[in-house]
């Protein structure tokens, strides 16, 4: 090659160079300009959170209940966490922990009642201050204008499934359509059209679904109509072997769920109005027509059958679980659209994608819906993470991860020091395979009682095998579970002589964690007093 160049005249060399430049300049640009080399190699973050999505209802977890092919892609191409859990199993407090990296009793949002202080640090604020473009689209369920975001479009409170209102940078606007699909469309629009392509980004893409009352999208109103689901083995639980809290809760599908709000009947089987017609008034004519066409015949068939006893309970379970899973189908569709966009635009390799929920949920286990308890189904939450640069496809993590860890982990990935007040730990090195060493136990609190569903106040500690809980306020009871021998938590072994050493060890661990995180009985009393004062003021206003 050198000999050939030596034989060329200067004129010929210049001509070749000019030709090469012209070829490059005239060559068509890639259709997606983001296929070009990125100027900034810091990873992008897409943090997807749904509301009340049980790990049992993600097919990657192997429970066989439904199919979630798009969410499963994250497990297949990244990591699935089998013991991810929350610090406080209720919506707003869980989200406050996720943002701040601090336990509820430190960030102040202990229940759905207490205000949230947006002035404190959160991880989007820190990303924003370090050159990231940030956006929050969907549900956050924290009062006040979100801080830390260049763009926010959030549901006020719980939001509506049909024709929802959103607060767009604080301004209230109504959107026509189905909430899950709107959130996805707006997230896609931000990715495509609203962000600055020369900046790394962090998008919090948070769905309302599958939160109660599980209203499916028009196209999925009849999904699963041809299927009958068998309830969990302990659906008809009598709660023997557990304490007062399990007996006095108000979250049974057959007993506490409502004919209208939950089972979608305008007129109940006894001929009484349920008030559900008010929910249908929010729909437009076509939406309401589709709804009646789907639910009318099903409701009438149920009434004609005159079901009783266990058969009626099984019908209620099926109405509940089908609607719940129908709403998840729309969530999974949205995940697929976002993942496809990343692939098509050359962003998949450098983008951390997380799918999780604000807590777990009961899908008929113990006969229940809802969450709140430290029992496994509500304590555990789904967690799937894809980041091809560092996480091997098919990774499985069995360590105890908490929503407390999201903020430190994101900051670790982008090279920002974790503030001292954040209490979580980065799981970056764990999920990359660099270490297997992580925490050996987690701490949990729940405060919202007396209130809806009547789950008693409690706190507790869990390690790989055992779980210790203390229920308090109007009771003083302890429960201890051996998750290896009793994974469904049917029988507390607290006080069993065979577990005396385990009980002692778990009490010591609980005391140590309460001290480590800064919790105490004084905290419990402070937040109890604030809660009772709030409820008293609410009652006075109603009177």
Alpha-carbon gap, residue 358 to 52, rounded angstroms: 6
Instruction: Report which of 324, 311, 328, 323 is spatially closest to residue 254, judged by C-alpha positions.
Output: 311
Give CA 270 to chain center in angstroms: 37
Q: Is the pLDDT of residue 187 over 50?
A: yes
Q: Would you place residue 31 in the very low, low, confident or very high pLDDT band (cuts 50, 70, 90)?
A: very low
H or E element, residue 441: strand 441-446
| Range 190-209 average pLDDT | 97
In sequence order, the 6+-apart residues with CB closer than 8 A to the CB of 113 are 448, 531, 534, 535
| Cis peptide bond prior to 210, omega within 30° of 0 | yes
Q: Is the pLDDT of residue 122 over 60?
A: yes
**CB-based contact 463:441 (threshold 8 Å):** yes
> SS3 of 498, please?
helix
pLDDT at 377: 98
Q: Is the pLDDT of residue 33 over 70?
A: no
**pTM across the whole model:** 0.92
Alpha-carbon gap, residue 43 to 54, rounded angstroms: 28
Determine if residue 402 is left, alpha or beta; phi over 0 gives left, psi from -120 to 50 gives alpha, anything else beta.
beta
Alpha-carbon gap, residue 379 to 360, rounded angstroms: 6
Instruction: Report which of 276, 273, 272, 249 is spatially closest to residue 262, judged by C-alpha positions.
Output: 276
pLDDT at 173: 98
The 8-class DSSP code of residue 6 comes to: H
Bridge partner list, 383:
356
> SS3 of 476, please?
coil
**CB-based contact 73:380 (threshold 8 Å):** no
Q: Would you place residue 231 in the very low, low, confident or very high pLDDT band (cuts 50, 70, 90)?
A: very high
Structure tokens given for 9: 């005249």
**CB-based contact 137:190 (threshold 8 Å):** yes
- Share of the chain residues as helix, strand and coil, in percent rounded to the nearest 5: 40, 15, 45
Q: 459-476: per-residue pLDDT in tens?
A: 999 999 999 999 999 999
pLDDT at 542: 84
Compute how many other C-beta atoms are within 10 angstroms of the C-beta atom of residue 359: 29
> SS3 of 452, please?
coil
Q: 71-119: per-residue pLDDT in tens?
A: 999 999 999 999 999 999 999 999 999 999 999 999 999 999 999 999 9
Q: Would you place residue 541 in the very low, low, confident or very high pLDDT band (cuts 50, 70, 90)?
A: confident
Between strands 351-357 and 383-386, the pairing is: antiparallel
pLDDT at 355: 99
In sequence order, the 6+-apart residues with CB closer than 8 A to the CB of 267 are 273, 274
**CB-based contact 357:51 (threshold 8 Å):** yes
Alpha-carbon gap, residue 99 to 108, rounded angstroms: 13
Report phi then psi at 253, rounded to 5: -60, -45
| Range 189-197 average pLDDT | 97
Give CA 472 to chain center in angstroms: 27
Report phi then psi at 355, rounded to 5: -120, 130
Distances (CA, A) of 157 to 11, 142, 382: 73, 7, 23
Q: Is the pLDDT of residue 37 over 90?
A: no
Compute how many other C-beta atoms are within 10 angstroms of the C-beta atom of residue 74: 25
**CB-based contact 59:73 (threshold 8 Å):** no
Alpha-carbon gap, residue 172 to 165, rounded angstroms: 7
Q: Is the pLDDT of residue 242 over 80?
A: yes
Alpha-carbon gap, residue 245 to 300, rounded angstroms: 37
Distances (CA, A) of 54 to 137, 243, 283, 445, 484: 21, 24, 28, 19, 21
| Cis peptide bond prior to 290, omega within 30° of 0 | no
Q: Mean pLDDT over all residues of the chain?
A: 93
Q: Is the pLDDT of residue 3 over 90?
A: no
Q: 330-352: per-residue pLDDT in tens?
A: 999 999 999 999 999 999 999 99
pLDDT at 543: 75
37-41, 150-154, 262-266 — which is least confidently predicted? Answer: 37-41
Q: 402-453: per-residue pLDDT in tens?
A: 999 999 999 999 999 999 999 999 999 999 999 999 999 999 999 999 999 9
Structure tokens given for 100: 């701040």
pLDDT at 538: 85
Give CA 173 to chain center in angstroms: 25
User: What percent of the chain is predicted at pLDDT more than 70?
Assistant: 93
pLDDT at 40: 60
């Amino acid at each position: 090659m050198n000999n050939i160049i030596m034989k060329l005249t200067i004129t010929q060399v210049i001509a070749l160079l000019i030709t090469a430049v012209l070829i490059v300049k005239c060559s068509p640009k890639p259709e997606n300009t983001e296929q070009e080399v990125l100027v900034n190699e810091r990873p992008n973050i897409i943090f997807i959170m749904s509301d009340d999505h049980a790990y049992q209802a993600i097919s990657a977890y192997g429970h066989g209940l439904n199919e979630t092919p798009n969410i499963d892609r994250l497990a297949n191409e990244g990591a699935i966490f089998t013991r991810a859990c929350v610090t406080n199993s209720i919506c707003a407090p869980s989200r406050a922990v996720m943002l701040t990296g601090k336990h509820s009793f430190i960030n102040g949002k202990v229940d759905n009642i207490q205000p949230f202080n947006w002035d404190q640090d959160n991880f989007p604020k820190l990303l924003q201050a370090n050159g990231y473009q940030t956006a929050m689209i969907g549900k956050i369920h924290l009062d006040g204008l979100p801080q830390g975001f260049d763009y926010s479009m959030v549901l006020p409170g719980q939001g509506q499934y049909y024709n929802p209102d959103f607060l767009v940078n604080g301004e209230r606007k109504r959107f026509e359509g189905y909430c899950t699909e709107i959130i996805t469309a707006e997230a896609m629009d931000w990715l495509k059209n609203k962000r600055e392509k020369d900046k790394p980004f962090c998008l919090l893409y948070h769905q309302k679904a599958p939160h109660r009352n599980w209203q499916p999208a028009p196209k999925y109103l009849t999904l699963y109509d041809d299927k009958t689901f068998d309830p969990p083995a302990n659906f008809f639980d009598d709660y023997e072997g557990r304490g007062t809290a399990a007996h006095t809760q108000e979250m049974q599908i057959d007993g506490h769920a409502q004919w209208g709000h939950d089972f979608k009947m305008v007129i109940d089987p006894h001929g009484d109005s349920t008030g559900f017609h008010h929910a249908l008034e929010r729909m437009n004519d076509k939406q309401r027509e589709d709804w009646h066409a789907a639910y009318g015949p099903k409701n009438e068939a149920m009434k004609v059958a005159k079901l009783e006893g266990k058969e009626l309970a099984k019908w209620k379970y099926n109405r509940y679980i089908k609607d719940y899973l129908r709403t998840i189908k729309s969530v999974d569709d949205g995940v697929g659209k976002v993942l496809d966009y990343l692939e098509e635009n050359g962003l998949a390799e450098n983008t951390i994608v997380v799918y999780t929920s604000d807590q777990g949920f009961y899908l008929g286990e113990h006969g229940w819906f809802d969450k709140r308890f430290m029992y496994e189904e509500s304590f555990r939450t789904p967690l799937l993470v894809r980041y091809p640069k560092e996480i091997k496809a098919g990774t499985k993590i069995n360590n105890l991860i908490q929503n407390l860890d999201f903020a430190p982990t994101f900051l670790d990935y982008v090279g920002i020091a974790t503030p001292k007040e954040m209490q979580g730990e980065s799981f970056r090195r764990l999920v990359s395979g660099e270490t297997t060493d992580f925490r050996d136990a987690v701490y949990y609190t729940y405060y919202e009682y007396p209130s809806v569903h009547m789950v008693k106040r409690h706190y507790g500690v869990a390690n790989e095998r055992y779980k210790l809980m203390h229920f308090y306020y109007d009771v003083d009871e302890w429960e201890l579970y051996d998750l290896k021998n009793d994974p469904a938590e049917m029988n507390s072994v607290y006080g069993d002589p065979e577990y005396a050493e385990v009980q002692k060890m778990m009490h010591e661990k609980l005391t140590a964690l309460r001290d480590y995180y800064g919790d105490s009985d004084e905290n419990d009393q402070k937040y109890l007093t604030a809660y009772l004062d709030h409820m008293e003021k609410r009652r006075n206003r109603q009177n």
